[in-house]
């Protein structure tokens, strides 16, 4: 998993709480990498779950909520870090629709080693879309948060109905209906 | 402490992270460097590769350009919008345009106006359908305004993405080919138009017997209903089979077609006969290209009309050729110089020369005897004047023998009207000539015989009549010499016999004339009733002292003049009444005339002569009108020639009438004849008519009459009678003297003999009637030797009033005198009879001898013994037509006649002499007249000789 996901998580924790919690997480969690993350590095994806699990213990916030919140936060960071990628997109729906065909294609070019989830996207109308998330990382909540972050970025309001299609969380359906 | 620990850990973590990032970046930078280095190297390779390729490209382009420039064809490029972007230099050579003229301009400007649209359509079509390569032809405009036909192949040039960049064309000058094609097409079009419109059925087949061309007429001829155009390309091998039934000989037709197809040789003008009667002419014309057989052409022409007319012409030619051959006519054609141009077969056969021997030769030199050259020259002259003529001449045959040819020649006139020669049709008349000569000889013999017969008859007639006249006349006079009773009886018999003899001769002569057709009708107005009365009077005189009444009953309607031949009627009546008188002993003879029918002015008058004579047996009634049939019983005192009724019937029929007879034996006969006369509008006053003017003997005696008569016997007879009746008269011995006398004094009647020397009675009558003299309107009565109507008609025609047939009885003459003589002055009636005039020219004799009887006796004796035989010689010469001798003899003998007082005969002989001399060509033309004249002379001589003998006797007794 790309280093930015780790660095931004720790940044978000530091902003929401303080570095003490960050230190606690890093110290208390069994992390093979030792916890000295850099954005350009690449780390075992299981370490994110370890970190989020520890954070949940420390804060008492359930893990799904933490992932969902981190998704919202990270999309904001993306708009700044990867500005050129979304510059020419003018609506949340367009962006969401182009995730698989455009965003992930470009990401793959930059980071050939990156492992990216797969989205099946069906546009049922101008404000109605069904996205099916599929990934062995089982990070549906994180994706939920990213979608919410996206709507927020474009200032759009929509109801996102999440339906778990596979019990292990490797396949999740999101129905987005613009309001 | 904890914060510091946290910070320491944070720092360590940060530092660890930085080092990790630096190592990653260092690694990435190195990778980048290597990659960059590789890229740089790759770039350098690429540049050199490009340079190399560009050089190669330039070289290739150079090569292609050279190629483009060197080819004859024009290569050019145009943009999809039609603007020229390239043109090869060949364009200048081909069309005169330089590159500058063309580049940047639209192709339209270089195309003939009429073809611009089609070229644009062609390009558009190519662009729309994205065809890689196409071909198109069109006429382009050259710079100097001419035209060049272009055939161009165009390729479409596109880029990798399929965008059309330009069109590249290779254009070639196909003008020559195009012109040739056009010429070919024109020729083809002309040919097919020609063939299609020919007045013949035409079928052109290729070598596989597929139709290339067929016209309507062909289809019509072969009863093909399909349109000609639809047959093109079809197999026509079955046409002959399908059409054979149209021909008279179908098997022959198909067989012949097969033969022609097999032979592949030209065959023209074959004639075919169709069932419907038409005649076709077929031409088979194989078509070869070099030695390659390409098919053939059939041509069928309907020549029915031509055939028929030719057939007619041929038949006509054949007919005339046949006629010519059968006629054995030799035809010869010559030019204007008499050179033979063409000698036809029959002519060659005729003359024995071959055609080759004759052509080019001069006709006169090779074929004509010299004596006939003038004939040819004359004919040539006539031909030059445009006259066709026929003539006879002799031709010398190859074997030198001669043949007589009848030639009909005519000029040959060419189309310009110029006479180029002549054509002669020769008919061999050699045999005919021989025959002609024989015929001429035979005719001469026959003519001579006929002439001799005629002369004999004429001689006989005169020979017999002359003495008969004398006998009759003298017997009349004898009655006045107080004969004894017995003598009286003798004289009676004498007279009767003479009368019979006379009628016999007359009838024979008359019948001869009728049979010779010499009798013609001479209609003229005449007083019919008067004629009947005259007839009555003649017979009343005859019947005097016989117990027979002569009655005439005339229809009251018969008045005035009728138009008809009164002479013939008179003859008929005389015959019939004479016949009745002959066979009637007693009773009456009744002459009746009544109108049976009248239509306008035309009258049918029935004449009837009824007698109370012996009648005719029933079985003989049918033959009374036949010649030489005499029905009177043997021993009857009246005999005749049997010709009287035959002559009568002929005369009736000549006038368009009919005659019939009814009779009862022992009771009498009735002859009925009907004649048609037109009633004359001009009616002569019956009061003026002579017959209504009875003249008493006393008055008659005061008349002065001119007697014109050359015959001394007749002179004597008439003189005696006139003296007996105390009638004054003057004698004239010929017509000339009569005319002279007529000028001297006025007469009351002229008795005119017809046959006289110097001037005959007709001429004298004409002279008297037509010249101013005291006797211009005095009655003239002809004394004719013949009772035949022809003589009488002539007499009336020349202005004479009537005629008296010689020999006549005193009563007949008296009747004539009573009828015509109107005395102008009164003479005392002289009772004494005058002596008859002497026959010999006493004046002449006394002039010569002046009473010297010895001298006279000598001369008369010499004349009778020596001279008279000379006349026999003369007669022979006349008969031989030895005219020079005749002339000489006549000249020699002539004066001797005068010496014995035969002055008239001297005149006659002088005339003979004159006639023999009158024509330098000889007296042939006058031979007949001469012979007749001599006959007269001989008659005269035989008549006069007794007088001469008598005179000698008288002189010797002095």
Least confident of B63-72, B177-186, B199-208, B569-578: B63-72
Position B591 confidence tier, pLDDT thresholds 50, 70, 90: very high
pLDDT classification of B833: cutoffs 50, 70, 90: very low
Kindly state the greatest CA–CA separation across chain A. 49
Residue B495 has pLDDT above 60, yes or no: yes
As a whole number, mean pLDDT of residues B616-637 equals 70
B6 closest CB neighbour out of A20, A37, A38: A20
pLDDT of B689 higher than 70: no
Q: What count of residues does chain A have?
A: 179
Task: Quote the CA–CA distance of B951 and B867 in Å, as a whole number.
Answer: 16
Give the whole-angstrom CA distance, residue B619 versus residue B603. Answer: 34
Report which of residues B729 and B944 the model is more confident about.
Answer: B729
Statement: residue B721 has pLDDT above 60: yes
User: Residue B910 has what pLDDT?
Assistant: 81
Rg of chain A in Å (alpha carbons): 16
| Distance from the B38 Cα atom to the nearest Cα atom in chain A, whole angstroms | 20
What are B11-54's pLDDT values in tens digits?
888 888 888 888 988 888 898 899 999 999 999 999 999 999 99
At residue B682, the pLDDT reads: 57
- What pLDDT does B608 receive? 94
**Range among A38-52, B531-545, B829-843 with highest mean pLDDT value:** A38-52
Confirm if B275 and B247 have CB atoms less than 8 A apart.
yes
Judge whether residue B301 has pLDDT over 80: yes
Section B180-190 average pLDDT: 85
Rounded Cα distance between A114 and B703, Å, is: 203
Q: In what helix (H) or strand (E) does residue A54 lie, and over which residues does it extend? A: helix A46-59
Out of B314-323, B682-691, B694-703, B727-736, the most confident range is B727-736
**B641 near B503, Cβ under 8 Å?**
yes
CA distance B262 to B268: 16
Which pLDDT does position B688 carry in this prediction? 40
Beta bridge partner(s), residue B331: B425
How far, in Å, CA of B712 to CA of B718, rounded?
10
3-state secondary structure B626-694: CCCCCCCCCCCCCCCCCCHHHHHHHHHHHCCCEEEEEEECCCEEEEEEEEEEEECCCCCCHHHCHHHCC
CA distance, residue B14 to nearest chain A CA (Å):
6
pLDDT digits (tens, 9 = 90+) for B887-917: 888 878 887 888 888 887 888 888 777 777 6
When CB atoms are compared, the residue of B14, B16, B24 closest to A34 is B16
Cβ-nearest to A35 among B6, B13, B25: B13
Contacts of B14 in chain A (CB under 8 A): 36
Q: Are strands A128-134 and A171-178 parallel, antiparallel or unpaired?
A: antiparallel
Q: What are B246-261's pLDDT values in tens digits? A: 888 888 888 888 888 8
> Rounded to an integer, what distance in angstroms lies between the CA atom of residue B599 and that of residue B840?
60
Tell me if residue B561 falls in helix, strand or coil: strand
Q: Would you say residue B474 has pLDDT above 70? A: yes
Q: What is the pLDDT of residue B455?
A: 63
Asked if residue A172 lies in contact with residue A132, where contact means CB atoms within 8 angstroms, the answer is yes
Residue B658's Cβ-side half-sphere holds a number of Cα atoms within 13 Å equal to 3
By percentage, how much of chain B surpasses pLDDT 90? 7
The mean pLDDT value for B106-114 works out to: 86
pLDDT number for residue B643: 76
Name the residue facing B6 among A23, A38, A41 (closest C-beta): A23
Contact A26 B20 (CB under 8 A): no
B61 touches chain A (CB under 8 A): no
pLDDT band at A62 (very low <50, low <70, confident <90, very high): very high
Order of strands, edge to edge, in the sheet holding B329-335?
Answer: B340-343, B329-335, B419-428, B402-413, B389-396
Distance of alpha carbon B803 from alpha carbon B779, whole angstroms: 11
State the count of interchain CB pairs (< 8 A) between A and B: 34
pLDDT of residue B926: 65
Kindly tell me if the per-residue pLDDT of B828 is higher than 70: no
Please say if the pLDDT value at position B850 is more than 80.
Answer: no
In chain B, % helix, strand, coil (3-state, to 5) comes to 55, 20, 25
> Mind telling me how many Å the CA of A108 is from chain B's nearest CA?
17
CB within 8 Å: A38 and B10: no
What mean pLDDT is reported for chain B? 81
Q: pLDDT tier at B424 (50, 70, 90 boundaries)?
A: confident
B188/A109 Cα distance (integer angstroms): 78
- A 10 A CB-CB count for B208 gives 8
pLDDT at A132 over 90: yes
As a whole number, mean pLDDT of residues B309-335 equals 80
Which pLDDT score is estimated for B714?
77
How far apart, in whole angstroms, are the C-alpha atoms of residue B114 and residue A24? 98
Structure confidence at residue B604 as a pLDDT band (50, 70, 90): very high
| Count of CB atoms situated within 10 Å of the CB of B727 | 25
E strand or H helix at A134, and its extent?
Answer: strand A128-134
- Mean predicted confidence (pLDDT) in B778-800: 75
Residues B733, B735, B740, B744: is their CA dihedral positive or negative? positive
Contact B24 A38 (CB under 8 A): yes
Calpha distance B903→B870 (Å, rounded)? 18
Are B21 and A37 an interchain contact pair (Cβ–Cβ within 8 Å)?
no
List residues of A whose CB lies inside 8 A of any B CB.
19-20, 22-23, 26-27, 34-41
pLDDT value for B94: 83
Question: What is the pTM for the complete model shown?
Answer: 0.31
C-alpha distance from A32 to closest chain B C-alpha (Å): 14
- Helix A3-16 to helix A46-59 angle, to the nearest 10 degrees? 10
Considering only CB atoms, which chain B residues are within 8 Å of A27?
A: 9
Question: What is the spatial distance between Cα B942 and Cα A29, in angstroms, rounded to a whole number?
Answer: 221
Which residues, other chains included, contact B106 with Cβ-Cβ below 8 Å and sequence gap of 6+?
B82, B83, B84
Task: Please list every residue in chain B whose beta carbon sits closer than 8 Å to the beta carbon of residue A39.
Answer: 21
Q: Is the pLDDT of residue B185 over 70?
A: yes
Q: What is the DSSP code string of B779-815?
A: -EEEEES---HHHHHHHHHTT--EEEESS--HHHHHH
pLDDT of residue B631: 60
Contacts of range B455-459, beta carbons closer than 8 Å, 24 or more positions apart? B455/B931, B455/B935, B457/B509, B457/B512, B458/B932, B458/B935, B459/B935, B459/B938, B459/B939
Q: How far is A109 from chain B (nearest CA, A)?
A: 15
**What SS3 state is found at B425?**
strand
pLDDT at residue B838, rounded to an integer: 42
Condensed to tens digits (0 to 9), the pLDDT of residues B706-718 reads: 999 887 777 888 8
- pLDDT classification of B956: cutoffs 50, 70, 90: confident
Residues A73-125: tens digit of each pLDDT: 999 988 888 888 788 888 888 888 888 888 888 888 878 878 888 999 988 88
How far apart CA B178 and CA B913 sit, in angstroms, is 112
CA B884 to chain centre: 46
- B18 interfacial to chain A (CB closer than 8 Å): yes
Q: Can you give the pLDDT at residue A161? A: 92
Under 8 Å CB-to-CB from A170, ≥6 apart: which residues?
A: A134, A135, A136, A138
CB B697 within 8 A of CB B676: no
A40, B13: Cβ pair inside 8 Å? no
CA distance readout (Å), B76 to B63, B141, B146, B746: 17, 16, 20, 146
The answer to whether the CB atoms of A41 and B16 lie below 8 A apart is: no
| Contacts with A108 (C-beta within 8 Å, 6 or more apart), sequence order | A114, A116
Ramachandran region of residue B553, left (φ > 0), alpha (ψ -120 to 50) or beta?
A: beta
Question: For A26, which of B13, B20, B21 is closest by C-beta distance?
Answer: B13
Classify strands A158-164 and A128-134 as parallel, antiparallel or unpaired. Answer: unpaired
Distance (Å, whole) CA B931 – CA B935: 6
As a whole number of angstroms, the distance between CA A9 and CA B710 comes to 208
Q: What pLDDT sits at residue B831?
A: 31
User: Contact at 8 Å (CB) between B819 and B692?
Assistant: no
> Would the pLDDT of B483 be above 90?
no
Q: Kindly state the helix (H) or strand (E) to which residue B818 belongs, with its residue range.
A: helix B810-820
Rounded to a whole number, what is the distance in Å from the CA of A33 to chain B's nearest CA?
Answer: 10
Calculate the dihedral angle through the C-alpha atoms of B949, B950, B954, B955, rounding to the nearest 10 degrees: -30
pLDDT at B193 > cutoff 50: yes
pLDDT of amino acid B639: 57
pLDDT, tens only, B433-444: 888 888 888 888
The least confident of B115-124, B376-385, B601-610 is B376-385
**How many angstroms separate the CA atoms of B620 and B626, rounded?**
10
Pairing of strands B728-732, B749-753: unpaired
Burial class (CB in 10 A: 0-12, 13-18, 19+), B566: buried
At residue B632, the pLDDT reads 58
Contact predicate B691/B819, CB 8 Å: yes
Structure confidence at residue B516 (pLDDT): 63
pLDDT at B836 over 70: no
pLDDT score of B325: 65
Which run of H or of E encompasses B510?
helix B485-515
B859 near B899, Cβ under 8 Å?
yes
pLDDT(B834) > 50? no
Confidence bin at B686 (pLDDT 50/70/90): very low
Confidence of residue A141 (pLDDT cuts 50, 70, 90): very high
Alpha carbon separation from B236 to B222, B239, B571 (Å, rounded): 12, 5, 100
Residue B6, chain A, CB below 8 Å: the answer is yes
């Amino acid at each position: 998993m790309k280093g930015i996901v780790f660095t931004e998580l720790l940044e978000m924790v530091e902003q929401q709480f303080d570095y003490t919690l960050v230190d606690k997480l890093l110290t208390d969690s069994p992390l093979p990498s030792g916890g000295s993350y850099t954005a350009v590095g690449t780390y075992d994806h299981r370490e994110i779950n370890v970190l989020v699990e520890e954070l949940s213990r420390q804060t008492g916030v359930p893990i799904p909520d933490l992932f969902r919140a981190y998704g919202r936060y990270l999309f904001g960071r993306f708009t700044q870090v990867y500005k050129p990628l979304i510059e020419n997109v003018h609506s949340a729906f367009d962006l969401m629709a182009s995730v698989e065909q455009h965003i992930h294609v470009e990401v793959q070019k930059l980071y050939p080693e990156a492992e990216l989830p797969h989205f099946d996207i069906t546009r049922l109308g101008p404000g109605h879309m069904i996205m099916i998330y599929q990934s062995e990382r089982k990070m549906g909540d994180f994706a939920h948060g990213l979608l919410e972050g996206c709507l927020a970025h474009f200032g759009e309001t929509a109801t996102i109905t999440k339906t778990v299609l596979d019990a292990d969380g490797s396949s999740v359906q999101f129905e987005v209906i613009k309001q | 402490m904890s914060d510091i620990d946290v910070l320491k850990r944070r720092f360590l973590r940060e530092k660890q992270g930085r080092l990790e990032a630096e190592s990653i970046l260092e690694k990435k930078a190195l990778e980048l460097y290597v990659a960059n280095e590789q890229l740089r190297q790759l770039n350098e390779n690429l540049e050199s590769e490009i340079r190399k390729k560009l050089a190669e490209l330039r070289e290739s382009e150079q090569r292609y350009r050279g190629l483009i420039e060197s080819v004859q064809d024009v290569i050019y490029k145009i943009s999809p919008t039609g603007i020229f972007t390239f043109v090869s230099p060949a364009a200048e050579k081909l069309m005169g345009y330089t590159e500058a003229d063309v580049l940047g301009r639209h192709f339209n400007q270089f195309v003939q106006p009429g073809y611009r649209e089609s070229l644009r359509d062609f390009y558009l079509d190519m662009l729309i359908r994205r065809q890689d390569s196409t071909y198109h032809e069109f006429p382009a405009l050259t710079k100097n305004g001419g035209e060049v036909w272009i055939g161009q192949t165009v390729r479409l040039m596109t880029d990798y993405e399929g965008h059309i960049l330009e069109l590249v064309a290779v254009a070639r000058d196909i003008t020559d080919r195009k012109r040739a094609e056009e010429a070919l097409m024109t020729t083809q079009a002309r040919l097919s138009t020609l063939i299609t419109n020919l007045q013949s059925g035409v079928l052109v087949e290729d070598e596989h017997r597929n139709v290339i061309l067929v016209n309507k007429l062909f289809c019509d001829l072969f009863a093909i209903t399909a349109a000609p155009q639809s047959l093109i390309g079809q197999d026509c091998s079955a046409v002959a089979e399908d059409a054979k039934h149209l021909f008279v000989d179908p098997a022959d037709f198909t067989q012949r077609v097969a033969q022609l197809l097999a032979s592949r040789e030209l065959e023209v003008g074959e004639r075919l006969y169709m069932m419907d009667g038409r005649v076709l002419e077929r031409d088979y014309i194989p078509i070869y290209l070099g030695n390659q057989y390409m098919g053939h052409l059939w041509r069928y022409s309907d020549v029915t009309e031509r055939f028929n007319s030719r057939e007619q012409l041929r038949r006509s030619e054949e007919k005339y050729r046949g006629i010519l051959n059968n006629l054995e006519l030799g035809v010869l054609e010559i030019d204007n110089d008499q050179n033979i141009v063409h000698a036809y077969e029959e002519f060659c056969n005729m003359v024995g020369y071959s055609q080759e021997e004759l052509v080019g030769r001069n006709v006169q030199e090779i074929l004509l005897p010299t004596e006939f050259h003038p004939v040819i020259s004359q004919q040539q002259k006539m031909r030059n004047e445009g006259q066709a003529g026929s003539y006879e001449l002799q031709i010398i045959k190859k074997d030198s023998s001669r043949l007589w040819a009848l030639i009909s020649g005519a000029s040959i006139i060419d189309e310009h009207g110029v006479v180029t020669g002549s054509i002669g049709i020769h008919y061999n008349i050699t045999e005919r000539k021989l025959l002609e000569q024989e015929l001429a000889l035979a005719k001469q013999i026959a003519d001579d015989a006929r002439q001799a017969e005629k002369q004999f008859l004429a001689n006989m007639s005169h020979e017999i009549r002359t003495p008969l006249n004398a006998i009759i006349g003298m017997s009349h006079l004898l009655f006045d010499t107080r004969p004894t009773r017995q003598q009286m009886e003798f004289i009676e018999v004498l007279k009767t016999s003479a009368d019979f003899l006379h009628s016999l001769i007359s009838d024979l002569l008359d019948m001869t004339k009728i049979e010779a057709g010499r009798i013609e009708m001479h209609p003229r107005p005449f007083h019919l009733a008067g004629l009947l009365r005259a007839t009555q009077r003649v017979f009343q005189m005859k019947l005097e002292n016989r117990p027979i009444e002569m009655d005439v009953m005339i229809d009251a309607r018969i008045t005035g003049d009728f138009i008809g031949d009164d002479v013939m009627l008179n003859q008929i009546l005389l015959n019939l009444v004479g016949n009745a008188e002959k066979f009637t002993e007693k009773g009456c003879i009744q002459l009746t005339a009544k109108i049976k029918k009248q239509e306008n002015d035309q009258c049918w008058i029935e004449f009837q002569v009824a007698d109370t004579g012996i009648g005719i047996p029933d079985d003989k009634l049918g033959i009374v009108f036949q010649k030489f049939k005499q029905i009177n019983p043997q021993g009857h005192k009246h005999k005749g020639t049997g010709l009287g009724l035959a002559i009568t019937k002929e005369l009736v029929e000549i006038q368009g009438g009919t005659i019939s007879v009814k009779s009862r034996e022992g009771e009498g006969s009735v002859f009925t004849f009907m004649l048609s006369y037109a009633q004359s509008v001009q009616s002569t006053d019956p009061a003026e008519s002579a017959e209504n003017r009875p003249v008493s003997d006393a008055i008659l005696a005061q008349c002065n009459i001119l007697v014109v008569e050359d015959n001394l016997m007749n002179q004597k007879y008439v003189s005696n009678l006139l003296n007996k009746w105390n009638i004054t008269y003057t004698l004239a011995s010929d017509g000339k003297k009569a005319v002279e006398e007529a000028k001297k004094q006025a007469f009351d009647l002229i008795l005119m003999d017809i046959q006289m020397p110097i001037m005959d009675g007709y001429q004298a009558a004409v002279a008297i009637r037509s010249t101013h003299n005291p006797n211009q309107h005095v009655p003239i009565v002809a004394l004719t030797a013949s009772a035949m109507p022809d003589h009488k008609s002539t007499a009336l025609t020349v202005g004479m009033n009537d005629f008296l047939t010689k020999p006549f009885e005193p009563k007949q003459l008296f009747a004539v005198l009573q009828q015509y003589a109107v005395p102008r002055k009164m003479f005392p009636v002289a009772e004494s009879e005058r002596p008859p005039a002497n026959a010999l020219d006493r004046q002449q004799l006394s002039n010569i001898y002046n009473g010297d009887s010895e001298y006279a006796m000598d001369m008369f004796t010499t004349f009778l013994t020596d001279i008279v035989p000379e006349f026999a010689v003369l007669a022979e010469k006349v008969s031989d037509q030895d005219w020079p001798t005749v002339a000489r003899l006549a000249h020699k003998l002539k004066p001797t006649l005068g010496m014995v007082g035969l002055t008239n005969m001297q005149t006659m002989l002088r005339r003979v002499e004159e006639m023999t001399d009158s024509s330098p060509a000889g007296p042939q033309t006058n031979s007949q007249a001469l012979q007749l004249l001599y006959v007269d002379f001989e008659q005269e001589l035989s008549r006069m000789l007794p007088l001469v003998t008598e005179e000698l006797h008288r002189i010797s007794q002095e």
